[in-house]
Amino acid sequence: MSKRPENSPKPKRRPSTTASVAAGGTAQKVRLVEIDEEVGQRIDNFLLKQLGNVPKSRVYRMLRSGEVRVNGGRKKPIYRLQAGDTVRIPPHRAGPVAAPNFISDVALADLEAAIVFEDEQLLVVNKPAGLAVHGGSGVSYGLIEAIRRIRGDGVELAHRLDRDTSGCLLLAKRRSALRTLHELIRQGRLHKRYRLIVSGQWPRDLETVKLPLHKYHTGSGERRVRVAAEGKPSHTDFHLVERCDRASLLDADLITGRTHQIRVHAQASGHPLIGDQKYATDEQLAGAAELGISRLCLHAERVIVPWAGDSLTFICPVPAEMQQAWQRLQAPSA
């Protein structure tokens, strides 16, 4: 066997494949996780929770490059985990644990008071307008971060509401409950009704809007939705409750659940929501501002959930500021 010359440099050892070699943070070895409670969860959301201190871009890069494997094979981010799946989480370096965002005692107390139902599996909150459902994109914290402060880390959002929309929001306290809720949503069996106020006089015979919706981003990175042939099929049923010269009071039933669906279907029908900063015209927004209406007039009033052989109905009354907005719109104009 040949010998290495005495003065020659030692050969470099290849870095271990069981730990990250990047600088900073804490090295983590490869892990194999067998799926049980996480059944039905998307692989990307599963990884984001498992790798909480790893940048989101890095997590998606792991998926694209095949570093993450499910049962030995690659999966797209939308893959939903199944019972018995084995997920390979590759070597990575976790960043420093971020300090928890400050949430005032008053905010936590207000959120506690907004809980309208709770048992061992479900939690229903009357979300106030202006509170995002989760932090990020310039938002220091959202409803889910605040709820976890008072109910623990096991609580998960079953669905979402726009930041400026108020009303019924369902959360799951157990993974099994979350799976059930997601399955009900996929089957179209979770019924959601909204109360809204739109500009102008809504036609009495306009009860169904079926227009495909396409998500896109503006030049500034803001998320928007428009009606487009290449969009996803979308269906909203509208019910006229009352109307006056300037506006109409409606109920809306979501048959599909697309982003900004009610807002864009109303706008495409010629009657954008009062106070809608994204889809109303400047003139319509100025008219609402003159009446002292500053919020989006959209409220998730009712959710009906088939549950354990029964039907649960959760109701979040229309907030006072929306009732006052309707009264101001009904008043004779100057």
CA distances for 105 relative to 87, 111, 142, 149, 190, angstroms: 39, 10, 15, 11, 33
Closest CA relative to residue 232, chosen from 196, 271, 252, 259: 259
| Cα–Cα distance for residue pair 105/110, rounded to 1 Å | 9
Catalytic residues: 162
| In the block, residue with structure tokens 């040949």 | 2
Tokens coding 12: 């470099």
Total count of residues recorded for the chain: 334
Write phi, then psi, for 220 (nearest 5 degrees): -85, 0
How far is the C-alpha of 301 from the C-alpha of 285, rounded, in Å? 24
Around Cβ 300, how many Cβ atoms within 10 Å? 26
Among residues 121, 99, 249, 118, the alpha carbon closest in space to that of 180 is found at 121
Q: Exposure of 319 by Cβ count < 10 A (0-12 exposed, 13-18 middle, 19+ buried)?
A: middle
| Main-chain dihedrals φ then ψ at residue 263, nearest 5 degrees | -65, -45
- The pair phi, psi for residue 231, each rounded to 5°, is -80, 180
Q: Cβ(178)–Cβ(311) under 8 Å? A: no
Alpha-carbon distance 241 to 19, whole Å?
62
